[in-house]
Amino acid sequence: MITDAAYRELQETLGAENVSREPAVLDGYTWQPFTDILGLPDSWCRYRPAAVVLPGSTEEVQEVVRICGRHGLQFKAMSTGWGAWNAMGGENTVQIDLKRMNRILEIDEKNMYAVVEPCAVCSQLQAEAMKKGLNCHIIGAGCGSSPLASATSLCGYGWSGLTTSYSARNVLGVEWVLPDGEVLRIGTPGQDAGWFNGDGPGPSLRGAMRGFMGACGGLGVFTRCAVKLFPWPGPEEPQVEGLLNDVTAEVPDTHAMFLIAFPDLQRWADAAYSVADAEIGYMMCKNAIGALVATMMPRGLKELTRFAVFKDILKTLRYQFQFLVCARTPREFAYQKAVLREIVEECEGICLDVSKLPGLHDAFWWGFVRAAMPPLIFRMGGTFGTSYGALEGFDHPAYQSQEGARLKSQYTETGRLMDDLADNSWGGIYEGSTGFGHQEELYVYDPRDSAQLEAAEDYLAGTLVDTAAKKLGPGLGFAGGAIVAEIFGPLIGDYHEWLRKIKGAFDPDNVSDPAFYVSPDPEKLIAEEMANRPGMAQSLLSVMGEEDTP
C-alpha cells in the first residue's frame, strides 16, 4: 500500500500521467514468465507493486528514490522488465519503470563504446553501432533486452560471446543513483573524463556495483552506462527481408555458418578449447538440436519424440555447436575455415557448411547476429526455464550438461516436462584462451498447465540441490531470489556475507528491494521462504544442512 501523501509527492514530481496505482496497470508488472523459480502456481508474482512510476531523467529517479526513503517504501527499478526476477519482494514496493529513459546518448567509434540509457534495447544499439562498423554484446535474453541492465545488473552470455564475452566484461563508466538518492558516477565519468573506462581515473567500484551476478535491482538504479563495442566485420546496413525463420539476407561472401558435431562430450569440449586458443570465429554456441527443432517446428518435434528411433537419430547431433565465421577478407575467411576444419578433424568431428543450405543460412546468420531468436523458445510449450549454467572452465560446463540431461530426462521421459530430447543445453566458450564458458539446461513447459508448472518447480529445486551437493558452482538458479545466495554462499567463499556487507554500506535502510540480491536479514528470509514455498525451501535447507530449522 502506498499512502496518499507519498502518492501525491510522486505525482507532483513526475506529473500525474507518469504515476499509477491502478490495480490493472500494476498487474502489468506482476505478471511474469519463469515464476517456477518462485514456486508459484501461475505467472502472477507474489506481490503487486504499490505503485508504478515513469521517471524521465536521472534527477527524477533521484527524487523517486528519496520519496520512497522518506515514506518507508522500497523501490525496484526495471528496464525492459522481462522475467520473474523483476518481481517485487514485498507489499510496499514502488516499481520504477525506466521506459522513458531510452536513448543512445553517444557512440564513440574511435574508443569503441556506447553510452546508453536503461531502455534502449540491443537491436537498436546494434543497428546504430553497425553503421559505424561496430557491434555490441547481446545477452542470451536476446536483442529485445537492455544492454544497460545486462551490463550493470545481471549475468549472461550471448550468441556472440566468443567475441563479446558476457555481461560483466562489457560495462565501462556508469551513472548510479544510490539508494539514498545520491548520484555516483563510477569509472571515468566520476572524474568527468568521458565514459571509456569502468575503473579509473575515477572511483573503481564495478565489483561492488555488480559483483559477479549483478544486484538485480537490489542496490539502487543505474541510469546511464557505457558498454563496449566490438569490431563488426560485416555490412553497415545489413539488407534483410523477412521477420525470423523466413529471413533472406545479403550475407557477405566472407561470412559462413557451420554446424560442427563431435562423437562425445570430451571431444566437443576439446574443440571449444582449441577454438578459443586459435582465436577464430565470430560466434560459437550450442543451440541444442532439440531446441532448434522445437523452435522451427514445435508440433513436428512433439510427433518425432513419440518415436525412439527419431530421438536417437536427432541425438547423434547432441554434441555440436553452431559456428559463425565473419571475416573481413577472403584470405582471412579461408584461414579461419582452414583452422576450424583442422580443429574439427583433430577432435574427430564433422563440419557441415550451413551456407550450402539455401533457405536456412540467411535466417541463421541474421538470427544469431541480431540475436532475435530467444523468444522462439516459448513456441513449443508456452514458456521455458533454465538451470545449471555456472560460468567455469569449459570442461565443467560440459559436465553440467551431462548432469542436466540426466536429471531432466527423468521428467521428459515421464511426460512431466515437454520432451525436448533432454539435451537442451545452451551456451558456449568465451574469454578466449582462458577457456571460460557455460552451459545452461533449458526446460520447456506450459505454465498454463499446473501439473507442468509443478514439475518445472520440482525439477528446478532438484537442480539446485544437485548443484550444491556436487559443488557445480553458482548457476542461473541465482534468479531464484536472495535465498540462493544463502545456499551457495557458504560453498563459495561466503560471498553472500560480502554481498550483505556491500548492501549494508550502500543501502543501510534497505530501500532498494533486495529480493533477488541478498537479504539483510537472512533469518527472516528463510522463515518467509519456508512459509511461501515449503517444498523447495526444505530441499534447499537440506543442502545447507539445516533440515530441522523451522
The residues binding other proteins (CB under 8 A) are 17-18, 20, 22-29, 31-33, 42-44, 52, 54, 80-82, 97, 99-100, 103-104, 120-121, 123-128, 142-144, 237, 240, 242-244, 247, 298-299, 366-367, 370, 372, 375-376, 378-383, 446-448
Q: Is 494 left (phi over 0), alpha (psi -120 to 50) or beta?
A: left
Yes or no: say if 401 and 245 are a contact pair by the CB < 8 Å rule.
no
Cβ distance to other proteins smaller for residue 447 or 474: 447
Q: For residue 118, say if its preceding peptide bond is cis, omega within 30 degrees of 0.
A: no
Minimum CB separation of residue 343 from other proteins in Å reads 31
Yes or no: say if 43 and 34 are a contact pair by the CB < 8 Å rule.
no
Cβ distance to other proteins smaller for residue 141 or 540: 141
Minimum CB separation of residue 129 from other proteins in Å reads 10
Minimum CB separation of residue 407 from other proteins in Å reads 24
Cβ distance to other proteins smaller for residue 102 or 402: 102
Question: Residue 343 has which C-alpha cell?
Answer: 580443429
In one-letter notation, the amino acid at residue 347 is C
Cβ distance to other proteins smaller for residue 69 or 447: 447
Minimum CB separation of residue 526 from other proteins in Å reads 29
How remote is the C-alpha of 87 from its chain's centroid? 16
Yes or no: say if 429 and 275 are a contact pair by the CB < 8 Å rule.
yes
Cβ distance to other proteins smaller for residue 124 or 386: 124
Yes or no: say if 89 and 208 are a contact pair by the CB < 8 Å rule.
no
Instruction: Please state, in angstroms and rounded to a whole number, the distance separating the CA atoms of residues 261 and 269.
Output: 11
- The count of C-alpha atoms lying within 13 angstroms of the C-alpha of 368, restricted to the half-sphere facing its C-beta, is 29
Minimum CB separation of residue 475 from other proteins in Å reads 22
Yes or no: say if 155 and 213 are a contact pair by the CB < 8 Å rule.
yes
Cβ distance to other proteins smaller for residue 124 or 387: 124
Cβ distance to other proteins smaller for residue 243 or 531: 243
Minimum CB separation of residue 74 from other proteins in Å reads 20
How remote is the C-alpha of 481 from its chain's centroid? 15
Minimum CB separation of residue 302 from other proteins in Å reads 8
Instruction: Please state, in angstroms and rounded to a whole number, the distance separating the CA atoms of residues 407 and 362.
Output: 35
Contacts with 312 (C-beta within 8 Å, 6 or more apart), sequence order? none
Cβ distance to other proteins smaller for residue 90 or 375: 375
Cβ distance to other proteins smaller for residue 19 or 398: 19
Cβ distance to other proteins smaller for residue 147 or 211: 147
Minimum CB separation of residue 511 from other proteins in Å reads 23
Minimum CB separation of residue 313 from other proteins in Å reads 24
Question: Residue 333 has which C-alpha cell?
Answer: 575467411
> Per this entry, what is the length of the chain?
550
- The count of C-alpha atoms lying within 13 angstroms of the C-alpha of 475, restricted to the half-sphere facing its C-beta, is 33
Yes or no: say if 246 and 363 are a contact pair by the CB < 8 Å rule.
yes
How remote is the C-alpha of 336 from its chain's centroid? 29
* Beta strands 113-116 and 221-231, pairing class: antiparallel
Question: Residue 269 has which C-alpha cell?
Answer: 569440449
Minimum CB separation of residue 465 from other proteins in Å reads 27
Cβ distance to other proteins smaller for residue 151 or 380: 380
Q: Is 425 helix (H, G, I), strand (E, B) or coil?
A: strand
Minimum CB separation of residue 64 from other proteins in Å reads 15
Cβ distance to other proteins smaller for residue 236 or 521: 236
Distances (CA, A) of 449 to 43, 137, 302, 382: 11, 35, 17, 10
Minimum CB separation of residue 43 from other proteins in Å reads 7
User: DSSP readout, 181-218?
Assistant: S-EEEESGGGGTS-SS-SSSSS---HHHHHTTT--TTS
Contacts with 550 (C-beta within 8 Å, 6 or more apart), sequence order? 527, 530
